[in-house]
Amino acid sequence: MLFPIFAMMLASTSPSEPSSSLPICNGVKPTAGTQSPSIVSALRMSEAWFQASKTANDADFINLINHQGPKIPGGPAEWLEMRSFLSNLQLCGVKDVDNNNLYIWVYDQNADSFAVTQFKLNATISEKPDFVGAFLTDEAPPGYVRPEPLTSRGVVKAVQERVAGKTAKDQFSGAVLISHSGRILLQKAYGLADRANHKPNTLDTQFRFGSMGKMFTTVAIMQLVQDNKIDLNAPIGRYLTSYPNPDVATKVTVAHLLTHTGGTGDIFGPEFNKRKGSLRSLKDYVSLYGSRALNFDPGSRASYSNYGFILLGRIVETVSGLSYDEYTRQYVFAPARMTSTGNDPESSVLPRRAVSYMGSGTKISRADDTLPVSGTSAGGGYSTVGDFNRFVNALTSDRLLRRETFQKLKDGGLKISGGHFTPFDFGGSMAGIGPFIGHGGGAPGMSGSLFHFLQNGYTIVVLANRDPGTAESISNFTAHRLPAN
């Protein structure tokens, strides 16, 4: 999510003749060339919306959305929650237009990354565009000059200054770890684990990590693949023999679930909110969602699926004969020496687990009511920055997977329709630094990020007891300044 000032350009140029003195965004010139009236109208709307997020009072902000747009799901409460994200955005220019969709480059100052904001253009100029979403990307507009790499010492100094500045403004609360080839360069906690009791975060504080837990599920699956107990290309019905929907059981493979290409959908929504208190095991999730149809043909496209990772957890249970929690305790956490990681229910009293806080400024509140009953194979557990660093060390020293299996994990994926390769959900690649393993996670009151770069050996772990984006604002900043080697 992200944005600059298009008002000057749009106010002083005609739809077909953009000014030659366009505002710039981090040194990037907005896309030149002619723009159609519908695009100019959408740009004018987006600029007004972004600017209002920074300067308008709540009533005027809501009024602008109601009368000028864009169309956004939800209502005033959700729109106001969105303001804190929008206020960090700097509008940079048009990236692309296709099939009535407008894609705008924005720069997220908080995440230290570019994103692409998507609007769906409707039939007439007078009809408000639909806001589809804003998606962080490692891409950058043509002409953008990435930050100069720093030395290890320089990275540590820059990160300490950034975290200290955000903590002083009450924009960060959590812990940060940076290591290189097994040697810890920075390990420090900031802010409060419990604001009411003025209890500080420490390196032993356990933070909820959201979807970062998917990494443990993937490792568990690959261990069972390594032992010839799971075939990645087998339909999930081979392992979930009583799965309610036979279409899902016969068409969706284990590899589809690992790549989010199975069409199995998500778990969040009205049904989840209504039944959240009764979802105490992975079986409960399957009972609730197992009869529903596929969202799309498996392998035709990718769409993030928390339910897909619930199913992977159930496969671990049926194949191993252990509960998901017991399996990960024995075969992931114990060999990695991760003594502070788990999925214990929120009802359990864990003195070191941080309180989760959502919101910002004067609107910070506890996020208790939004938390799941407990962590699952899709995420939601708790850990420390030290334990995640030990997880990386165990993976890269062959203590969790044999070397050839780890390589299969790093290289694994599927080609979907159109020939696009979709990797397993266990990492990616960053421009200028190369491939990494890791994952992010977030929900109200929790934010986490892990990068381990395979070529230069740097590991970055950031956990926070604040909203999504809090950890990424540090981990992305760090990654973008790492030495290449």
For residue 205, the Cα-to-chain-centroid distance in whole angstroms is: 22
What pLDDT was estimated at residue 12? 27
What pLDDT was estimated at residue 310? 98
- Indicate if 149-485 has the same CATH topology as 7-137: no
Mean pLDDT of the chain: 89
Specify the amino acid at residue 129: P
How far is residue 176's CA from residue 474's CA, in Å, rounded to a whole number? 8
Alpha-helical runs (H) found in 295-424: 306-320, 324-328, 334-336, 385-396, 403-411
Q: Measure Cα distances from 432 to 149, 234, 309, 439 in Å.
A: 9, 37, 31, 19
Contact 133, 118 (CB under 8 A): yes
Give domain limits for the chain: 7-137, 149-485
Q: Measure Cα distances from 401 to 264, 396, 430, 483 in Å.
A: 28, 9, 24, 28
What pLDDT was estimated at residue 266? 93
What pLDDT was estimated at residue 29? 56
| Rg over CA atoms, the chain | 23
How far is residue 269's CA from residue 289's CA, in Å, rounded to a whole number? 12
Domain 149-485 has CATH 3.40.710.10: yes
Question: And the tokens for 47?
Answer: 């600029």
Span 353-410, pLDDT tens digits = 999 999 888 889 999 999 988 999 999 999 999 999 999 999 999 999 999 999 999 9
How far is residue 180's CA from residue 85's CA, in Å, rounded to a whole number? 32
Taking the CA of residue 235 as centre, how many other CA atoms within 13 Å lie in the half-sphere pointing to its CB? 14
How far is residue 34's CA from residue 416's CA, in Å, rounded to a whole number? 35
What pLDDT was estimated at residue 3? 26
Contact 442, 467 (CB under 8 A): yes
- The answer to whether the Cα torsion of 363, 369, 370, 371 is positive or negative is positive
SS3 334: helix
Contact 462, 385 (CB under 8 A): yes
What are residue 224's DSSP bridge partners? none
User: Which long-range contacts (C-beta less than 8 Å, at least 24 apart) are formed by 147-155?
Assistant: 147/480, 147/481, 148/481, 149/432, 149/481, 149/482, 149/483, 149/484, 150/481, 150/482, 150/483, 151/483, 152/180, 152/185, 152/483, 154/481, 155/185, 155/478, 155/481, 155/482, 155/483
How far is residue 136's CA from residue 157's CA, in Å, rounded to a whole number? 26
Question: And the tokens for 128?
Answer: 């408000």
**Burial of 413 per CB tally in 10 Å (0-12, 13-18, 19+):** middle
Specify the amino acid at residue 312: L
Contact 333, 341 (CB under 8 A): yes
Q: If one looks up domain 7-137 in CATH, what number appears?
A: 3.10.450
Span 89-129, pLDDT tens digits = 888 888 888 778 888 898 888 888 888 999 998 867 678 89
Contact 121, 3 (CB under 8 A): no
What pLDDT was estimated at residue 27? 62
What pLDDT was estimated at residue 138? 79
The reported pTM is 0.86
How far is residue 332's CA from residue 326's CA, in Å, rounded to a whole number? 10
How far is residue 256's CA from residue 308's CA, in Å, rounded to a whole number? 8
CA dihedral 369, 373, 197, 187 (to 10 degrees): -120
Q: Which residues of the chain have pLDDT under 70?
A: 1-35, 123, 125, 485
